[in-house]
Chains A and B, each alone.
Chain A
Amino acid sequence: MAMPDASASAPAPSPAGSASATPVLEVRDLKKHFPIRKGLLRRAAGYVFAVDGVSFSIAEGETLGLVGESGCGKSTVGRTVLRLIDPTSGSIVVGGKDISSLPRAEMRPWRREMQIIFQDPFSSLNPRMTAGDIVGEPLLVHGEGNTAKRREQVAALFERVGLRRAQMDAYPHQFSGGQRQRIGIARALALNPRLIIGDEPVSALDVSIQAQVINLLMDLQRERRLSYLFISHNLAVVEHISHRIAVMYLGRIVEYTDKTTLFTNPQHPYTEALLSAVPVPDPAIKRRKLVVQGDVPSPVKPPPGCHFHPRCPYAVERCRVESPALREIAPGHRVACHLR
């Protein structure tokens, strides 16, 4: 798909806060292994290595795009950062504090700092609550103001995300997909968080609506100096909104750099393959196509060495035995490949 102005001509908002000392979010060596339980005693018979050592950081006002195929663990990263899923190991540092092993009760204040927008605008809103109640719930839960004050805040949020005040008493099923996603955004904004995790927030929407929602997210970022962790499998969307991009493959980050570098000078063979799969809306342009063979291996039994080697056209013997580290090959450009 193509964003209306997804080409390089559109100036992306620059991460003005990238120079600030402490990042909003810093994830170090995050791992999440889901046990597969079998038998009468439900002993762990194996593990799904959903996230297997992921590190990244997001500065204030910055958007990090997290891309990869289905099942590569990108959604798990998002949910683990929010502690919707408890990590197996690794650290999640929010505003200088490691929250990776905080007990639930102590997590509460940190919930104000980060929120999530889900992919499916139909399942992410409680069908039995009015839109106003849904957006007002974070305020209620965190004990903000009184009923009248909260309602006023919710009305302001509604107007900010492009909904009408009068729609506050309507139920989710009375809204369109794009409007529902706006309700989800308003809910995420209610507590004025610093970080919003977008778990494929536009993938379920029509292309025209996608652009509107993306533009809303970018406007909000400029206004409130929000940071986004933008999870998507759609490179065109990610290119449009992100400042930096991390490419994930089978639970690991294989390439991590700024947007321009990634799209002009991809270093990892997997990134190359992903980019060559993006359709270009100009039939005159002929590109070198790198088509990878086969499917993503099972995360239960990831291949030894480099996870990508069974599908990599350049794989050598070393790739089969030794797992490549994420090395910095140029300032701000990290790649996990033996050949670079």
Chain B
Amino acid sequence: MKLSPLNRRRLALFRANRRGVWSLVIFGILFVLSLFAEVIANDRPIVVYYDGGLYWPIFRAYPETTFGGEFATEAEYRDPFVEKLISEKGWMLWPPIPYSYNTVVRGTGTTALRPPSAQNWLGTDDQARDVMARLIYGFRISVLFGLVLTILSSAIGILAGALQGYFGGVLDLLFQRFMEIWSSLPVLYLLIILASIITPSFWTLLGIMLLFSWMALVGLVRAEFLRARNFDYVRAARALGVSDAVLMFRHILPNAMVSSLTYLPFILAGSVTTLTSLDFLGFGLPPGSPSLGELLLQGKNNLTAPWLALTGFFVIAIMLSLLVFIGEAVRDAFDPRKIVA
């Protein structure tokens, strides 16, 4: 791949910010790992060798009868009976965390809230589910939600801001008034009302959040365009016969991107926080979904089990810090006055 000199310079500047690079590496590893959550934390073995054949329980459901059991329903691999059947004629390879986000950990103890142990690295929650497993799934859904929301709302916001700032006049006036009204709608109440009518899912929540979050960048991009449309180099380009679209996206937008990009990690962090707070209040993802907000809520309700609140706190704090550090490095990379060391 051939990079333009400008992008090579940006890459060099990005790399020069060690903290940002390491944050990106750590965040990237965590995110990619969480994408394979099913292989890392699951209540089914990754692979089963039974009677000369290989079975992949994570990807396919096998009835218990496959392994010589009695029921036609899916095999319960943690059931001592099934375990015994399989170990007689083969073996099972378990994921490092042998629980999924909704697996109820059975054990000898009676209490659901079990402190961290070799079996449950971060303990269990009030429904005896493994916190580590829920954390991995919850991290994935939080980051995915945040990323999708950030990308969509930034795209809409930049487009809206660019159009308003570039064309100005009546379009700008009407759009601004509309946004003033729209942004004064109480989002949280709207979500609470909607949550009582429809069961929020990942996508409906995303849609509702998107309705209001696109406005974050509009003011910024609009201001940049208002400023830049009277720059001499924009005038010069216009005198050359450059079209409006090219002017907006080739000449003005790159210069407006630095301020937008410095906002992006904060929007991402904000999106993650929004989902977390909705989950905390109980108006977020459907009950039973793994989520960081739900973990925090459990921590609040079970102060006697501090591992819940501490886990939630540290995971959210570290994740948001990493995002901010990455954002700083991105900002450096796009700064035209930064000198390559």
Chain A: which residue is nearest B230 at the CB level?
A: A123
CA distance A173 to B9 in the complex (A): 14
A124 touches B232 (CB 8 A): yes
Interface stretch, picked from B81-89, B96-104, B236-244, B271-279, is B236-244
Which chain B residues in 117-171 approach chain A with CB under 8 Å?
Answer: none
Interface stretch, picked from A108-116, A248-256, A295-303, is A108-116
Greatest chain B CB density within 10 A among A120, A138, A169 is at: A138
* Interface bracket on B: 20 to 34
CA distance A120 to B232 in the complex (A): 8
B235 touches A84 (CB 8 A): yes
CA distance A107 to B246 in the complex (A): 17
Q: Mark A117-140, 1 if CB is under 8 A from B, else 0.
A: 011100111111010001001100
Which chain B residues in 213-242 approach chain A with CB under 8 Å?
Answer: 231-233, 235-242
| With contact pairs A126-B255, A130-B5 given, residues A118 and B235 touching in the complex (Cβ less than 8 Å) | yes
In the assembled complex, the CB of A150 is this many whole angstroms from the nearest CB of chain B, namely 14
CA distance A125 to B6 in the complex (A): 16
Chain A: which residue is nearest B4 at the CB level?
A: A130
A171 touches B336 (CB 8 A): yes
B239 touches A137 (CB 8 A): no
In the assembled complex, the CB of B278 is this many whole angstroms from the nearest CB of chain A, namely 39
* Interface bracket on A: 20 to 34
A127 touches B235 (CB 8 A): no
| With contact pairs A84-B239, A116-B239 given, residues A123 and B336 touching in the complex (Cβ less than 8 Å) | no
CA distance A336 to B173 in the complex (A): 43
Chain A: which residue is nearest B234 at the CB level?
A: A126
A126 touches B336 (CB 8 A): no
Chain B residues with CB under 8 Å of A202's CB are none
B232 touches A127 (CB 8 A): no
B241 touches A141 (CB 8 A): yes
Greatest chain B CB density within 10 A among A42, A107, A124 is at: A124
Chain A residues with CB under 8 Å of B236's CB are 116, 118, 124, 184, 187
Chain B residues with CB under 8 Å of A33's CB are none
Out of A108, A130, A138, name the residue touching B6 (CB < 8 Å): A130
The yes or no answer to A226 lying at the interface (CB within 8 A) is: no
In the assembled complex, the CB of B157 is this many whole angstroms from the nearest CB of chain A, namely 21
Q: Is the interface of B mostly helix, strand, loop or mixed?
A: helix
B254 touches A128 (CB 8 A): yes
In the assembled complex, the CB of A213 is this many whole angstroms from the nearest CB of chain B, namely 16
Chain A residues with CB under 8 Å of B240's CB are 111, 115, 137-138, 141-142, 187, 191
The yes or no answer to A82 lying at the interface (CB within 8 A) is: yes
Q: Mark A173-195, 1 if CB is under 8 A from B, else 0.
A: 10000000000100100010000
Q: Mark A82-123, 1 if CB is under 8 A from B, else 0.
A: 101000000000000000000000011001101110111001
CA distance A122 to B144 in the complex (A): 42
The yes or no answer to A165 lying at the interface (CB within 8 A) is: no
In the assembled complex, the CB of B294 is this many whole angstroms from the nearest CB of chain A, namely 44
| With contact pairs A128-B254, A171-B336 given, residues A141 and B235 touching in the complex (Cβ less than 8 Å) | no
The yes or no answer to A28 lying at the interface (CB within 8 A) is: no
Greatest chain A CB density within 10 A among B5, B242, B251, B254 is at: B242
Chain A residues with CB under 8 Å of B336's CB are 127-128, 171, 173
Chain B: which residue is nearest A118 at the CB level?
A: B232
A84 touches B6 (CB 8 A): no
Out of A79, A123, A142, A171, name the residue touching B241 (CB < 8 Å): A142
Greatest chain A CB density within 10 A among B173, B233, B246 is at: B233
B6 touches A123 (CB 8 A): no
What is the interface of chain B, defined by CB distance below 8 A to chain A? 5-6, 173, 231-233, 235-242, 246, 251, 254-255, 336-337
